């Protein structure tokens, strides 16, 4: 088994749910982690094979998985700092990909 390169503690209370355990096996995921000075934490995952992205956060309940489309999440209010981070993750994960997802219709465009 390969050595771990990053271990992050959960800063949230137990009522926020169980935080996810994410392994990049096989290496086909882009992973982004966010934490601010207040202890708020978010995890962004982009799957290169399926081209699907998700977001999970302690304040929103760790067990809830939000779909990310073009760097945005419906039904979730993020502050400017969180949104800037999410969009940076999206841009880094999708840079150079041949197709993107159009958020209103969900159709894939070349």
Q: How confident is the model at residue 104 (pLDDT cuts 50, 70, 90)?
A: very low
Q: What pLDDT, on a 0 to 100 scale, did the predictor assign at position 109?
A: 46
Q: What pLDDT, on a 0 to 100 scale, did the predictor assign at position 101?
A: 52
Q: Can you give the residue ranges of every domain in the chain? A: 28-96
Find, among 29, 59, 47, the residue nearest to 6 by Cα. Answer: 29
Q: How confident is the model at residue 99 (pLDDT cuts 50, 70, 90)?
A: low
pLDDT(66) > 70: yes
Query: How do residues 24-64 score in pLDDT, each as one tens digit?
Result: 877 899 999 999 999 999 999 999 999 999 999 999 999 99
Q: What angle do CA 58, 77, 29 make, to 5 degrees?
A: 55
């Amino acid at each position: 088994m390969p050595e771990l390169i990053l271990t992050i503690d959960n800063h949230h209370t137990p009522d926020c749910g169980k935080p996810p355990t994410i392994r990049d096996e096989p290496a086909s995921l882009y992973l982004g982690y966010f934490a601010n000075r207040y202890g708020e934490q978010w995890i962004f995952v982009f799957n290169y094979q399926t081209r699907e992205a998700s977001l999970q956060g302690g304040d929103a309940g760790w067990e809830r998985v939000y779909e990310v489309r073009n760097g945005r999440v419906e039904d979730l209010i993020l502050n400017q700092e969180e949104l800037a981070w999410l969009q940076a993750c999206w841009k880094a994960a999708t840079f150079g990909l041949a197709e993107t997802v159009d958020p209103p219709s969900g159709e894939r465009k070349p």
